[in-house]
Amino acid sequence: MTAVTNPRKVAPDSVAAQLIAQARAEGVSLVGPGSPLATLTNGLGAARFHHAIARAIGVVVVAVPEQHRPVALVGGGRVVFTRTAVTRLEARFEHTGLGGFLVTTPEQTLVDRLDRPQLGGIPAEAVAAAGALTDGVDRARVRGLAAQRSRTVQAKVDALLGEGPGAGR
């Protein structure tokens, strides 16, 4: 078992890194065989990394090219995998004291939280995180990412950003 710092006593950007480090130490493969990508954190873990969720959540969502069932970690927390075209996600490499990994940009994270709020098991937190991200994002990039999604997601983005027919709801 890996000793991991209490997530309630660390900076938000290190919580996702701790869960990833713990998963790696327990032998969980976080990327597909032969994949050139490092661990790609999106969803709730990315929202936490970007300080959009104020409390430790004990879950990190990892985008992978092939679906894998969730993994409960021995020291607590879990890794949820989501099958997606990882090369199409907007992400950047982040360095932490526990290693480096890819994390979706705040703009990508905002759109992802509105598109699949249930991913990770706490949909209310996901929607709240999307709202918390609005102040620090490039709205044109958010709209561009949303344009690649369904009309429902585009309407949610418009409403959140205070634009379009759903604004103000």
Q: Is residue 33 part of a domain?
A: yes
Q: Is residue 26 part of a domain?
A: yes
Q: Is residue 144 part of a domain?
A: yes
Task: Please give the Cα distance from 146 to 82 (Å, whole number).
Answer: 19
How high is the pLDDT of residue 28? Answer: 54
Domain boundaries, position 88: 7-161
DSSP type of residue 3: -
- The SS3 of residue 15 is helix
Q: Is residue 1 part of a domain?
A: no
- What is this structure's pTM? 0.77
Helix, strand, coil % in the chain, rounded to nearest 5: 40, 15, 40
How high is the pLDDT of residue 147? Answer: 97
Q: Is residue 168 part of a domain?
A: no
97-111 pLDDT tens trace: 766 778 899 999 999
Q: Is residue 125 part of a domain?
A: yes
**CB burial readout 70-86, b (16+ within 10 A) else e:** ebebeeebbbbbbebeb
Expressed in angstroms, the distance from the first to the final Cα of the chain is 47
Domain count, the chain: 1
Q: Is residue 85 part of a domain?
A: yes
Q: Is residue 2 part of a domain?
A: no
Tokens of 166: 């759903």
Complete DSSP assignment for 19-75: HHHHHHHTT---S-TT-----EEETHHHHHHTT-S-S--SEEEEEESS----EE-TT
pLDDT, averaged per 10 consecutive residues of the chain (169 residues), comes to: 33 56 56 51 83 83 82 81 85 77 91 94 93 95 97 97 64
How high is the pLDDT of residue 24? Answer: 60
Q: How many helices (H) and strands (E) does the chain have?
A: 6, 6
